[in-house]
Amino acid sequence: MSKAAISMIQSGLRDLGFAPGPTDGLYGAKTRAAALAWLDAGGAQADASLMPMGSAMIYQGSQKYPVHEIVVHCSATRPDWMKSASFAEQVAEIRRWHVQDRGWNDIGYHWLISRSGQVLMGRPENVIGAGVAGHNSGVIHVCLLGGAGSAETDHFSDHFTSSQNITLRQVLDGIGMRTQIRRISGHNEYAAKACPGFTVSQWLKEAH
Question: Which residues form the catalytic set?
Answer: 73, 109, 187, 193, 195
Q: Which is nearer to Zn ion, 14 or 135 (CB)?
A: 135
User: CB of residue 103 vs Zn ion: minimum separation in angstroms?
Assistant: 18
List interacting residues with Zn ion (CB under 5 A): 73, 187, 195
> Closest separation between CB of residue 48 and Zn ion, Å?
31
With H, G, I as helix, E, B as strand and everything else as coil, classify residue 44: coil
Element (H, E) at 7: helix 3-15
Q: Alpha-carbon distance 59 to 78, whole Å?
A: 34
Which DSSP category does 150 fall into? -
Phi/psi of residue 201, nearest 5 degrees:
-60, -35
Single-letter residue type at 81: W
Query: Diameter of the chain by CA atoms?
Result: 46
Identity of the residue, 87 or 109, whose beta carbon is nearer to Zn ion in the bound complex: 109
Q: Which residue type, as a one-letter code, is found at position 44?
A: A
Name residues whose C-beta falls within 8 Å of residue 93's C-beta, 6 or more positions apart in sequence.
82, 85
Strand partners, 141: 71
Residue 202 C-beta: closest distance to Zn ion, Å: 17
Nearer to Zn ion, 31 or 188 (CB): 188
Minimum CB–partner distance for residue 201 and Zn ion (Å): 16
CA distance 78 to 153: 18
